[in-house]
């Protein structure tokens, strides 16, 4: 009798339909429907919602990325070829190679992604190009500048919402960051100054924001003149053109010189915060980290805490004419603009 019961139970267990496995990742119903429709692997999609929840925009962005996989392979092959050719070709020919090497755009910030193609290890000397040698010299010279650094965490929820509302107009995160930095500099002119060997500091009448762009030949800093006086739409249009020229190696000297402050951004690599080198002739460089989701104090929450997007900004300053309080006040203004005074970015 007992055996019959066990057998029957076993048979029922086998015949019972199995329940569908619960999704491994949290996603909105609309996002799940789109994932099923396109037969996508949910684990491959990065969520931008609260606590990594996948929303429709994340799925659409993933689909766009999939469509360009073939193009990505071509870009990686070209980059690997450019690196290998650098060992055998002359400096004069490398300029031409740069024009053939493309970059990618992630999170509205133009960057050149590294190639993950495996290359055989070998002992080999590769001579610097003229640009690389210049960068090496400037990096070494930066060690002579008495530099200090100050960091601040900025809440990004409203800034991110503003970007999403302007995204369809072609406005990039980069242009919004550049405008915010320029307006903060306008409130603290000493941040825009440089040390003068004559025994003083040189205030700059213009606010020219440069932004670092990686190329196969090193880092170059296209510059937006009078950034504080331009709209974010103008900055976005100019920036896209400058990045295209930077990747092609066709920037004119006036398009990457006369900068008064520089922004360097590694957020697309999920770097939370980092230190940047300060070049001679500038008083400040602004390092942008990746946006993170975390709990912060909130007066609107019953528990006193709420989920929020945050970002760490680190400024490196020349201590010969800029002091700790100056840097702290600059970051206070930057946080105020990005957290509360967002209307200023639309002027």
Catalytic residues: 319
Return d(Cα 274, Cα 314) in angstroms, integer: 7
Rounded to 5 degrees, φ, ψ at 54 are: -85, 130
Rounded to 5 degrees, φ, ψ at 154 are: -120, 135
Query: What sign has the CA pseudo-torsion 337, 339, 345, 347?
Result: negative
Q: What is the DSSP letter of 293?
A: E
CB 286 within 8 A of CB 278: no
Among residues 59, 46, 176, the alpha carbon closest in space to that of 108 is found at 176
CB 288 within 8 A of CB 177: yes
CB 235 within 8 A of CB 276: no
For residue 315, the cross-strand partners are: 150, 286
b/e 95-120 (16+ beta carbons within 10 angstroms → b): eebbeebbbeeebbbbbbbebeeeee
Helices 232-248, 173-187: inter-axial angle, 10-degree rounding: 110
Three-class secondary structure of residue 322 per DSSP: coil
Among residues 7, 4, 117, 104, the alpha carbon closest in space to that of 64 is found at 104
Query: With DSSP H G I counted as helix, E B as strand and the rest as coil, what are the percentages for the chain, rounded to 5?
Result: 45, 20, 35
CB 245 within 8 A of CB 220: no
CB 323 within 8 A of CB 218: no
CA end-to-end distance (rounded Å), the chain: 85
């Amino acid at each position: 009798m007992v055996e019959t019961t066990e057998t029957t139970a076993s048979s029922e267990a086998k015949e019972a339909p199995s329940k569908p496995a619960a999704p491994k990742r949290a996603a909105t119903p609309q996002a799940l429907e789109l994932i099923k429709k396109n037969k996508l692997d949910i684990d491959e999609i990065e969520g931008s919602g609260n606590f990594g929840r996948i929303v429709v925009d994340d799925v659409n962005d993933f689909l766009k990325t999939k469509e360009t996989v073939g193009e990505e392979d071509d870009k990686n092959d070209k980059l690997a070829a450019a690196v290998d050719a650098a060992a055998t070709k002359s400096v004069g020919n490398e300029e031409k190679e740069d024009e053939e090497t493309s970059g990618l755009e992630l999170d509205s910030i133009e960057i050149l992604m590294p190639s993950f193609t495996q290359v055989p290890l070998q002992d080999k000397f590769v001579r610097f190009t003229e640009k690389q040698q210049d960068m090496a010299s400037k990096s070494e010279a930066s060690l002579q500048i008495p530099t200090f650094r100050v960091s601040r965490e900025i809440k990004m929820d409203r800034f991110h919402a503003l970007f999403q509302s302007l995204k369809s107009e072609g406005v990039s995160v980069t242009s919004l960051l550049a405008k915010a930095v320029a307006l903060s500099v306008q409130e603290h002119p000493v941040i825009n100054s440089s040390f003068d060997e004559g025994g003083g500091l040189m205030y700059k009448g213009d606010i020219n924001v440069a932004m670092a762009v990686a190329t196969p030949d090193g880092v170059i800093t296209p510059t937006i003149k009078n950034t504080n006086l331009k709209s974010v739409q103008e900055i976005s249009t100019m920036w896209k053109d400058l990045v295209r020229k930077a990747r092609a190696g066709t920037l004119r000297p006036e398009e990457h010189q006369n900068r008064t402050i520089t922004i360097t951004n590694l957020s697309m690599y999920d770097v939370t915060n980092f230190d940047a080198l300060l070049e001679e002739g500038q008083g400040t460089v602004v390092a942008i980290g990746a946006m993170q989701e975390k709990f912060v104090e909130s007066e609107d929450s019953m528990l006193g805490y709420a989920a929020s997007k945050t970002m760490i900004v680190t400024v490196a300053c020349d201590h010969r004419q800029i002091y700790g309080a100056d840097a702290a006040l600059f970051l206070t203004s930057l946080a105020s603009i990005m957290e509360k005074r967002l209307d200023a970015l639309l002027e």
